[in-house]
Amino acid sequence: MASSAQFCFFLFIFVSAAAVVSATDHIVGANKGWNPGVNYTLWANNQTFYVDDLISFRYQKNMYNVFEVNQTGYDNCTTEGAVGNWTSGKDFITLNEAKRYYFIGGNGQCFNGMKVSVLVHALPPPPSSSAALANSSSSAQRVHEVGRLMGLSANVVAAVFGALMWFGSNLI
């Protein structure tokens, strides 16, 4: 009895942690990568970005690079006052705020189309695998959101949420 309940408890923690923590890696340009002559507006319009997703730029190192700029930098293709820059050729950037991000290529490549802006949304979508999971994970997301405001890590939040479910199911 206790051990099967414990099993359910750990399974629940695992499932809710997986549902809460899952993040997508958005590969800029998909198989075209980060190169001149690609319409990245079309690429960005075809994806939905959520907080804690990754955006990754794949390109030939030493040939191109990536700058994070503000809207002025994006509109005018200027890297002055850039927020960040990356040069590895395989750059993973965490989108950790719900806001619009702007990335451009340096050395004038922005004028050749190497510019992308993405709007990052606050909450991940509820998983659609089953109605029950959707319900429990959307509550998990609410707990996660509260936890994030309190500065807790996703795993701590998942454990607390799992413990609440554990006590809840014992009371019933």
Ligand X SMILES: *[C@@H]1O[C@H](CO)[C@@H](O)[C@H](O)[C@H]1NC(C)=O
- Give the binding site for ligand X (CB under 6 A): 39, 41-43, 46, 70-73, 75-76, 80-82, 85, 113, 131-132, 135
Task: Give the shortest CB-49-to-ligand X separation in angstroms.
Answer: 14
SS3 state of residue 114 = coil
Among 171, 166, 154, 172, which Cα is nearest to 16's? 154
What is the number of the residue whose Cβ is closest to ligand X? 81
Q: Please state the φ and ψ torsions of residue 66, each to the nearest 5 degrees.
A: -135, 130
Q: Measured from the CB atom, is 85 or 152 closer to ligand X?
A: 85
User: Is the Cα dihedral 134, 136, 137, 141 positive or negative?
Assistant: positive
Q: Measured from the CB atom, is 26 or 144 closer to ligand X?
A: 26
Q: Measured from the CB atom, is 51 or 116 closer to ligand X?
A: 116
| Cβ count near 121 (within 10 Å) | 14
